[in-house]
A and B are shown apart, each in its own frame.
Chain A
Amino acid sequence: DAGVIQSPRHEVTEMGQEVTLRCKPISGHDYLFWYRQTMMRGLELLIYFNNNVPIDDSGMPEDRFSAKMPNASFSTLKIQPSEPRDSAVYFCASSFGQVGTYEQYFGPGTRLTVT
């Protein structure tokens, strides 16, 4: 398996622009997670899905952020409008099953810079 795939790997955009980050989880995994990593706040869980359904979005910072999972093999995280404080590395992770394993497989991340 190719692992969790994220695109783009790097994104530079201007304040106010819409940004869409993409994730393809590992085939067969039923959980998908979006994290944000910054120096100030560390690694934060933004939202996670189970079987394509959002389960907990309490980590989404504000209404400018939205996430979707239209099918088992694709998810997006959208920021509209983007702000400089959104600059961070965004990780997608996937896992299989709730009990017995919490091994989350992380993608390589998308480094977002908002100028």
Chain B
Amino acid sequence: AQSVTQPDIHITVSEGASLELRCNYSYGATPYLFWYVQSPGQGLQLLLKYFSGDTLVQGIKGFEAEFKRSQSSFNLRKPSVHWSDAAEYFCAVVRTGGGNKLTFGTGTQLKVEL
């Protein structure tokens, strides 16, 4: 069965610093990959997605993610974090040809220090 691992439960960065959130997946073939963000008291919002093609994908709010097949990773990055980026971030995967079911990681809680 496919799985998604987000090894960092909590991350704290200073405003203006760069950010990288880690995501590893376990699946034989290349799945579809996603990053979602959840602000407090809100539902999840899609930041970006990877299906195929260019392994560096751009998303909303200045985020990007890079798919690395050799490492089974899909890490999320942002060059300069803003205080409003404080939220919980979820990596998710859909097995190609496996219907429309997202499997979510456990999430990484981002705290931004001013």
* Chain A positions near chain B (C-beta within 8 angstroms): 4, 31, 33, 42-43, 45, 48, 50, 55-56, 91, 93, 95, 98, 100, 102-109
Contact = CB atoms under 8 A, between A and B. Distances in A.
Interface residues of B, number: 20
A92 to B, nearest CB: 9
Given A102-B49, A102-B94, A108 B101 contact: no
B100 A95 contact: yes
9 contacts: A42-B104, A43-B90, A50-B100, A93-B43, A93-B44, A102-B100, A104-B44, A106-B45, A109-B41
Given A42-B104, A102-B34, A107 B99 contact: no
Given A48-B101, A103-B34, A108-B43, 14 more contacts: A31-B100, A42-B104, A42-B106, A43-B44, A43-B90, A43-B104, A45-B101, A55-B99, A91-B43, A100-B51, A102-B32, A102-B100, A104-B46, A105-B46
Contacts of B49: 102-103
A38 B101 CA distance: 19
B46 A56 contact: no
Contacts of B107: 42-43
Nearest to B32: A102
Interface string B95-114: 00001111011110000000
A96 B11 CA distance: 33
A106 B44 contact: yes
From B34, B44, B49, B104, name the one whose CB has the most chain A CB atoms within 10 angstroms.
B44
B41 A102 contact: no
B100 A98 contact: yes
Contacts of A98: 99-100
From A4, A43, A95, name the one whose CB has the most chain B CB atoms within 10 angstroms.
A43
Nearest to A45: B101
Contacts of A91: 43-44
